[in-house]
Structure 1
């Protein structure tokens, strides 16, 4: 968990401006802090250099865009993230160990390897089956308190337990538990996934770790099943439904909204909310 508010502020700035030319000076200036001190603090908190972090996120988000927007050319995607055509191809292959063209050929297949369970093969439904389970909704702002993590989604259950125990006195019947996710674990190293654990609070909350998740239009997929099956279901939405839906994901990043959780039976009812333009 990140405990330094400056690091959270820096990450917010980076993820909101990934398709811009972001320099270390830009991020340090935004945080009103010395560049050299900021570089030391960022590396100590995240385990990555600020330059390496920005470059990695650009590579991974560009791959997500390639996966979700099949009609956008590889060259245009590379240019959107600050690369020339030739530089993007070589940088992509160095990071992902596959060329952009080869990645795109396999990105929307009907099955994939499971990043968390060795030897398990993911199988997806048809576009029509996902289409029947998805609604387009407008969601209002969520005022939340949050904790941010950079790590393995396998630690999510433990992190949620600690989070809910810490803030149990502020929960009521209207409280929503929300995850804000920034990565696709089929693309990002499973040990480097960035995500926020959130809980809705009163609009007048004075928590230091409060933020507002912005309103907007979302494609909402409702999941009712076992926790170990969440990843397969959601990858199906991203691999099959999203690229063929006619919608384009925007920059607000995705949300998982929990409706019911039975930890003993490993059962959950939740909404996967994909922000769309």
Structure 2
């Protein structure tokens, strides 16, 4: 399944949900923010995303809390659950129902040198040491990016096809200094690869007349350069999130990361790209 979110209403509602996911947020809150009735909004959201608003909010709470369990090693499971509106016992049962593993077991499983690969059933992702990642990471300031974008919910396995269609659609916008950027909101080791939310972006001039122009804010980022086979991207980037970030002293300041492509060789299936994590 791959869905392109074309409705500005639904884009805004998803942004609102992501910004307020650690609050007591209801369908009514989202519908009121969008200035529509609860019933009309709920129908439009389900038709556009394939998921009810309630299911989306509940799933996002479970997945964002799992990411915090992964990244915030010193934060208690109870405190993380409470921050998403759950009591200690309710959080544990809801988490286990969604992830098929308890929060404590999930956190323990994060502290290993290998992990299952969500894209290749016969492969394992193997991680390096903190020092090996730290030597390759640069803390830097990035400028704002003016981009045209498409927001997708769907299978990461279709990413190559989606990029090909996107670049063909906007071929006339491509210049020598154009950057292709992926803005990803989900961790595919936590979120089902069939439900990952991401945006395909291409840098453009500020005066671009297209309707789907947005600004990705700049600021402080941790930048990790990857050069290699596409099939090895997951292991490299998971290592940064699983090994480096929790021990680095930094925290994510946004709910997304950026993949900035520097070179792509479709024939050899190799890429050069920068993983950029907004940090504070």
The answer as to 2:22 corresponding to 1:19 is yes
Aligned equivalents of 1:267, 1:220: Cα separation in 2:
19
Aligned equivalents of 1:44, 1:143: Cα separation in 2:
29
Is the 1:111–1:124 contact (alpha carbons within 8 Å) kept by the matching residues of 2? yes
Q: CA deviation at 1:89?
A: 1.2
Is the 2:185–2:255 contact (alpha carbons within 8 Å) kept by the matching residues of 1? no
Q: Map 1:107-118 onto structure 2 (within 5 A).
A: 107-118=110-121
Q: Could you tell me which of 40, 44, 49 is aligned with 2:43?
A: 40
Find the counterpart in structure 1 of residue 94 from structure 2. Answer: 91
Aligned equivalents of 1:276, 1:22: Cα separation in 2:
26
Find the counterpart in structure 2 of residue 248 from structure 1. Answer: 251
Q: May I ask how many residue pairs the two structures share in their alignment?
A: 277
Aligned equivalents of 2:83, 2:46: Cα separation in 1:
27
Q: Could you tell me which of 152, 155, 166 is aligned with 2:169?
A: 166
TM-score normalised by structure 2 residue count: 0.96
Q: Mind listing any 5+ residue stretches in structure 1 that lack a counterpart?
A: none
The answer as to 2:82 corresponding to 1:79 is yes
* 1:124-153 Cα shifts (integer Å, max 9, x gaps): 111110011101111111111111111110
Is the 1:109–1:239 contact (alpha carbons within 8 Å) kept by the matching residues of 2? no
* 1:186-238 Cα shifts (integer Å, max 9, x gaps): 11111111110011111233322121111221111000111111111111111
Helix, strand or coil at the partner of 1:233: helix
Q: CA deviation at 1:122?
A: 1.3
Is the 1:143–1:211 contact (alpha carbons within 8 Å) kept by the matching residues of 2? yes
Find the counterpart in structure 1 of residue 149 from structure 2. Answer: 146
Helix, strand or coil at the partner of 1:191: coil
Find the counterpart in structure 1 of residue 272 from structure 2. Answer: 269
Q: Could you tell me which of 9, 17, 32 is aligned with 1:6?
A: 9
Helix, strand or coil at the partner of 1:190: coil
Helix, strand or coil at the partner of 1:93: helix
Aligned equivalents of 2:221, 2:227: Cα separation in 1:
19
Q: CA deviation at 1:252?
A: 4.2
Is the 2:185–2:256 contact (alpha carbons within 8 Å) kept by the matching residues of 1? yes
* 1:55-107 Cα shifts (integer Å, max 9, x gaps): 10111011011101111111111122122222111111111111111110011
Helix, strand or coil at the partner of 2:5: coil
TM-score normalised by structure 1 residue count: 0.97
Q: CA deviation at 1:34?
A: 2.2
Aligned equivalents of 2:174, 2:144: Cα separation in 1:
18
